[in-house]
Amino acid sequence: MHGMKDSVQIIPADHYKNKGKEKSDKYRYLNVSEFFTNTIQGEGVHIGRSATFLRLSGCSLSCKYCDTANVWSQGTPFSFIELFDLMSQFGVIKKLAKGDHFVITGGSPLLQQYRLTMFLMAFEDTFRFLPIIEIENECVIQPTDSLCKYIDTWNNSPKLTDSEIPAKKRYKKDVIQYMSKLPNSWFKFVISNEDQWKEIDEFFLKPRLIHRSQVILMPEGATRVRLEQNRDMVVEMCIQNNVRFSTREHIILWDDKKGV
């Protein structure tokens, strides 16, 4: 993901050094890697939408091609009150009230789903509205009903063989099928070679775990050069198989710049 050249980093990666600090209330905090606003959603079904990003630390997987591992692997606990104060200070609440998408990403946000649910409950109680919420999900952890009711868009990204994650760890059929039944649930696959469509078809479409209309293909690439190398191949794959294409707009605009 993710954004604009002049985005505002509310909590930049590497800025806070008190890693591992415990909050007195073990439920009313989130482990945060970075938090930035004045940006856009760079990929997926809502590409180009004005957005604010909250990146939570920790990941359930660690893919070979991950371009944010150096960020989500670090984090600091922030209480809900601290986060709300920062959101007010930097004008985030006003932006969310006007329709900014609130994108919760990682790593794996669902590793903190209980505390995240409490955070969204507290947000609604404090500010008397809920923003439009997108959340990232690798489809290895099933969300609770309590969390689901707060989410407007599920940006699911099941991992394929080229991630070099063992299938037993990354391919959870029951979770994938559960996610496919949720409204506004999309499945974004990172594509680096022509053989990957066969894998998507065999393991996701033919078993009817997901619907073709939910599939988004996105070229792998953390730099403009790498993205361009894969783009035409992925566009052709989408045309031939009648599925949606997504570029990585933030890479096109600002290459491998972090914190945007």
Q: What is residue 125's predicted lDDT score, i.e. its pLDDT?
A: 97
Residue 19 pLDDT greater than 70, yes or no: no
Instruction: Say how far apart CA 249 and CA 260 lie, in whole Å.
Output: 11
Taking the domains of the chain in order of start, what are their residue ranges?
8-15+28-254
Q: Are 115 and 146 in contact (CB under 8 A)?
A: no
Architecture of domain 8-15+28-254 in CATH?
Alpha-Beta Barrel (3.20)
Residue 23: pLDDT band by 50, 70, 90 thresholds? low
Q: What is residue 256's predicted lDDT score, i.e. its pLDDT?
A: 67
Encode pLDDT of 50-101 as tens digits. 999 999 998 877 655 555 555 555 678 999 999 999 999 999 999 999 999 9
Other C-beta atoms closer than 10 Å to the C-beta of 212 total 14
The DSSP 8-state label assigned to residue 260 in this structure reads -
Q: What is residue 27's predicted lDDT score, i.e. its pLDDT?
A: 72
Instruction: Give, for 85, the enclosing helix (H) or strand (E).
Output: helix 80-89
The percentage of the chain sitting over the pLDDT mark of 90, rounded to a whole number, equals 70
* Residue in the block written with tokens 């809502």: 46
Encode pLDDT of 26-46 as tens digits. 679 999 999 999 999 999 999
